[in-house]
Copies of this chain bind each other. A is one copy, B any other.
Amino acid sequence: MRAIKKEDKLYIQTFREIRSYIIRNGLKPGDLLPTEMEMCQTLGVSRNVLREAIKSMELMGMVQACPGRGTAVREFSMDFVFQNVLFFNVAGEDKPVHEMFGIRRMLELSYMRQAFYALESTDVEKMRDCVRRMHESARDDLAFTRADRDFHTALFRPLGNSVLDSLMDAIWAVDEGFELEKKSPHLASSIPKHEAIVEALEAYDYRAFARAMEVHFSSGKYLKADSFEEYDS
């Protein structure tokens, strides 16, 4: 753990330093951090500042502090953040949400070719099952969204791209946070689009698959997203 430079606020730098320390030293869940006093000395900050950083980590579930024992690293998850972050759904100002859907769209269309060739038949069966769940939960927005999410997860997980998976998870989590007040009309209309995707996969027809993906992202909440066009076509 190296000392701190001066630029940002101390507790923010300290947060980053401790986070870096965990990664650099390969600390796994259960491993103990140095004590508060040690870290204060190493980083050259007061105990208050250090605690503001550590308590933030504890609140977010990155570490767990225990008197008499120390502070242990925990399995990292963004769940707490997603459950506690404040979503301000200012009327008409959901631009960031559309931007996020736009990014998801770009990523899915960018990686769909690799996904196509990485898919096994069992994955396609999972997707088929998700479509069935969509039919069943036509009146349950939450269940429908879960099926939708599982559908796309099943499509891209076989790629084995962990960073892509994590980003998608984050986007879907935010989606759920915002989805609370959305209506169900456009949900049902997306079922045939998913069906077309699965059918193309079952037929192992990439052209049809790509076209179905494009159609899937060309409606509803994705309309305001930017179009996906080839640069040298």
Contacts and interface: CB of A to CB of B under 8 A. Distances in A.
A143 interface: no
A13 to B, nearest CB: 11
Interface stretch (A33-41, A109-117, A122-130, A133-141): A109-117
Query: Copy number in this complex?
Result: 2
Contacts of A95: 162
Interface stretch (A16-24, A145-153, A184-192): A16-24
Interface residues of A, number: 75
A163 B71 CA distance: 34
Interface residues of A, dominant DSSP: helix
Given A85-B76, A89-B166, A56 B60 contact: yes
Interface string A149-171: 00000000000011110110110
12 contacts: A12-B58, A23-B91, A28-B90, A52-B52, A73-B86, A76-B85, A76-B87, A82-B170, A96-B162, A102-B163, A113-B229, A214-B232
